[in-house]
Structure 1
Amino acid sequence: MKDLTQNQWNEQIKADKDAVILDVRTDEEVAEGYIPGAKQLDIYNAGAFMEKANLMDKSKNYYVYCRSGSRSAQACMILESIGFDTTYNLLGGFSEWEGDKTV
């Protein structure tokens, strides 16, 4: 896992043809807005999180965020523990996100 600032996140995603944006917040949080193109995988629903994570392409690069950056860091560690090579955590999470949003 590597922590990325917003600027690093934006620059890296634009250049990454294997980028997957992963939102690990709850349905209620996602309803308030999300980063365009993100796939939701609620980390609080541990069973579903693990089940869906195991179906994802482990060769892709995962850019993970939550509200503040804490749950997404945890999600990155979990993903890496089950064989994902490349995960990035958005520092500050969605609460500090200044880029494009879908509301």
Structure 2
Amino acid sequence: MNPAEIPTTSVSELPTEGAVLLDVREADEWAAGHAPGAVHIPLGDLPASTDQLAELPDDRPVYVICRTGGRSARATMWLNSAGLVEAVNVAGGMKSWQTEGRPLECDHDGAEPEVL
């Protein structure tokens, strides 16, 4: 798949409810701040995560997000090529998510969520 053919959307175009979000950032990035309800599978773990990927819905798009959009574009390309899900890259990633004022949560008690 050619990079120009990767299905892409912006954070502002994401549905505010019911969207399936797959976060492919590393564990420390995830722990610092992530979207509520997102599924976390680091990019390097995707090929070995077939059981987790099989749990994602196959009747609607899975929006793939990282920090700014590079890793999620590679993940989207891989997921679509493998035919595992209908993946859509989220341009601008979690940085845009934060800028758009979308909700964030973190895994550190008492800490403010942040995008690393």
Tell me the TM-score range normalised by the shorter chain: 0.7 to 0.9
For 1:57-90, what per-residue CA distance to the aligned partner results, in whole angstroms no more than 9, with x for missing partners? 4333201100110111111111111214522211
| Structure possessing the higher radius of gyration over alpha carbons | 2
**Cα drift, residue 50 of structure 1:** 4.7
Residue 111 (structure 2) aligns with: none
Confirm whether residue 100 of structure 1 aligns to residue 103 of structure 2. yes
**Cα drift, residue 6 of structure 1:** 1.6
TM-score between both structures, scaled by the size of structure 1: 0.78
Residue 28 (structure 1) aligns with: 28
Q: State the distance in 2 between where 1:85 and 1:26 align.
A: 21
RMSD of the TM alignment (CA)? 2.1
Q: State the distance in 2 between where 1:63 and 1:95 align.
A: 15
Residue 64 (structure 1) aligns with: 64
Structure 2: unaligned runs, 5 residues or longer = 1-5, 107-116
Q: State the distance in 1 between where 2:77 and 2:51 align.
A: 16
Residue 2 (structure 1) aligns with: 7
Structure 1: unaligned runs, 5 residues or longer = none
TM-score between both structures, scaled by the size of structure 2: 0.70
Query: How has the CA–CA distance of structure 1 residues 84 and 46 changed in structure 2, closer, same or farther, with 3 Å as cutoff?
Result: closer
Alpha-carbon contact 1:58-1:83 (below 8 Å) kept: no
Residue identity matched to 2:67? R
Q: State the distance in 1 between where 2:64 and 2:16 align.
A: 11
Identity, % of aligned pairs?
Answer: 31
SS in 1 for 2:44: coil
Query: How has the CA–CA distance of structure 1 residues 31 and 92 changed in structure 2, closer, same or farther, with 3 Å as cutoff?
Result: same
Instruction: Kindly tell me the number of residue pairs found equivalent between the two proteins.
Output: 98
